Amino acid sequence: MTVPRPSPSPVPGAPDSAPVSLPPVTLILGGARSGKSRFAEQLVAGHPGRRVYLATAEARDTEMAERIRHHRERRGEGWDTVEEPLDLVGALSRVARDGAAVLVDCLTLWLSNLMGANRDPAAEMSRLVTDLPRLGGPVVFVSNEVGLGIVPDNPLARAFRDEAGRLNQAMAAAADRVYFVAAGLPLTLKDLTPRDGAAPTATQARGAPSHR
């Protein structure tokens, strides 16, 4: 379902409406209400082909239902929406094909769904990272950075924080481009896509993080 709506105003640092070339895998990190989802939408909106919004959220209460409605209206026309709370790898294999650009929003809710369903987050994360090179179109992943605040006061919340950190590290290692968004402003953390024939810098080419 799509709802007609005027195009959103540009986010500082985001591309304009002209077609842009997305790398195979982009990761966008940020805190709550940081502007990360809006920035991701504008990146994918510049893709000249089919655009797919792969939602991992479930409308389990009125607050989440309202957030889903707001995101849908903000995206406007020109998107196909697919909802998949658990089998992210299977959904990506179906929609990331024939050059379609896919926006996954978000990895954090996907992780929460996995833990709530007693799935093994490490196994699912490994499955996702392994399947990334097989996808047939660029994918932009959105994920929350949840490790910058205070230490949670209960074991489940601490386990979630730790798993989210490991997931973000694994995805950042696999991604071609990584952004961190704060106060609506995107900061490039990693970019392995050469521009004007330039090779990646030594900092960009460093090995994968330890996932500790």
Mean pLDDT for all residues in the chain: 84
**Two tokens at 111?**
């992780």
Is residue 77 in a domain? yes
Which residues does residue 55 pair with via DSSP β-bridges, in sequence order? Answer: 83, 105
**Two tokens at 179?**
């952004």
The better pLDDT of the pair 103, 149 is held by 103
pLDDT of residue 45: 93
pLDDT of residue 10: 47
Across 52-65, average pLDDT: 77
**Per residue in 173-211, pLDDT tens?**
999 999 999 999 999 999 998 765 444 443 344 444 555
CA separation for the pair 209, 48 (Å, rounded): 33
pLDDT at 90 over 50: yes
Is residue 198 in a domain? no
pLDDT of residue 190: 98
Q: How many CB atoms lie within 10 A of CB 202?
A: 7
- Percent of the chain exceeding pLDDT 70 equals 74
Is residue 166 in a domain? yes
Is residue 128 in a domain? yes
Is residue 5 in a domain? no
CA separation for the pair 144, 109 (Å, rounded): 9
* 47 assigned to active site: no
Is residue 17 in a domain? no
**Two tokens at 21?**
């070339």
Is residue 194 in a domain? no
Q: How confident is the model at residue 73 (pLDDT cuts 50, 70, 90)?
A: low
The HSE-up count of residue 208 (CA atoms within 13 Å, CB side) is 15
CA trace torsion 142, 148, 151, 155 (10° rounding): 20
**Per residue in 106-165, pLDDT tens?**
999 999 999 999 999 999 999 999 999 999 999 999 999 999 988 999 999 999 999 999
pLDDT of residue 48: 92
CA separation for the pair 195, 206 (Å, rounded): 18
Q: How confident is the model at residue 64 (pLDDT cuts 50, 70, 90)?
A: low
The winner for highest mean pLDDT among 56-60, 68-72, 123-127 is: 123-127
Q: Are 3 and 73 in contact (CB under 8 A)?
A: yes
pLDDT of residue 149: 86
Number of domains in the chain: 1
Is residue 80 in a domain? yes
Return the CATH number at 173: 3.40.50.300
For residue 34, the enclosing domain spans 25-188
pLDDT of residue 58: 77
